[in-house]
Structure 1
């Protein structure tokens, strides 16, 4: 049994519908998005810990007047979640501005109903909370661990704490960035190769009439002969499948494939 909702992304069935998607592409872009989020979280951690000296006096004063470590942790986590929420709104703003240009580029009309679809809304809230907590949990515990005596007696040494961790995070961040850039470069080169490859025929000044045989029926041959009489038309042909589009094997089957391939929708 194959659910109807799985047809678009299912590529394992022979002679399936054309113009389908590929679940592997969904996984690839999802992994890239996760890596970009990880890089953003690492940036936030590095900036928060590197600027710890600027907030050391605030933390020291709060502890001297009785603030607990837990309350300081909650404050920094709340600030991180708030910043994540603002970043999400800014990202939606950028998407809405660039969406018309992107739709024009891919010749599609993509729409995203952020607040009409409950799943999308819950997903956005979940991502905001997850990113805010993941990015802010280490700075929260790190900054709340400062002691008033260390802050006011040797505040300059505060910024040196966690230096090894920051260095490791920077190295990890640059490693991920290089991997993503190499992947983008490879995809660009492959796309460029596909665009520039010689196909063996001139793609310019070619007119394709879709489903002409269905519309004309028995008059198709006469229509082709009439077109061939025009001096500006060099050649007329008909085919059941365009090169590069869905191909009908017409009874041909791949080797080692089972003889029976019945699927129920």
Structure 2
């Protein structure tokens, strides 16, 4: 800032000096100005060419070389992120699918296999971000960071519904909210990540967020004592009501007969 201010002051002084000379010696100053401009215009043209070649041309070449150098790293991060997000919807579907599932695969431990696979892919994605951090650039870095952050929010919400399944009791109820918006947002991030390098996924994977959401809704409908937000009947008598967090607690409607409320996030 000081250097720029100093340059402005020098230019102003130069202009003021030239104006004074022009008033004193108009003919001589005019001739000097014509000569100055004849010499200066070629210098300015040379300067413009230098700026274009050096600043723009060289910068472009360096940027292209840098992109090429980091392309494998960016591709790795993009593919890991796309796959992790695909496993979110795949796990959301299979963790809670009931129709057509054999009895031995209905157990929570069998359902958890899909959730653990999803978590493993999040960790793999996050590790690749840390390893390739310097080369991700201003487009991929915020996209990848947001995807990891939101997927990590999905994991405990899936866990909470499996917890609700194992908490089947005439004395306890569970209040749940299917994270439709959050899942949809993560899927949108996955689509953008996949488009960066045209990532292909296996045909057997469930990548439709609606299928995952429908599976969760069907799961809730098939289990007693699990209520969606806003559906808890008034006057029901439970010794204990489980809610996900304090935000959900503030929106509890009904349940006049509830004796105690417990937050899942504090377990």
Which category describes the TM-score, using the shorter chain as reference length?
under 0.3
Q: Which has the higher strand share?
A: 2
Q: Which has the higher helix share?
A: 2
TM-score by length of 2: 0.28
Greater relative contact order: 1 or 2 (C-alpha under 8 angstroms, separation 6 or more)?
A: 1
Structure with larger Rg:
2
TM-score by length of 1: 0.28
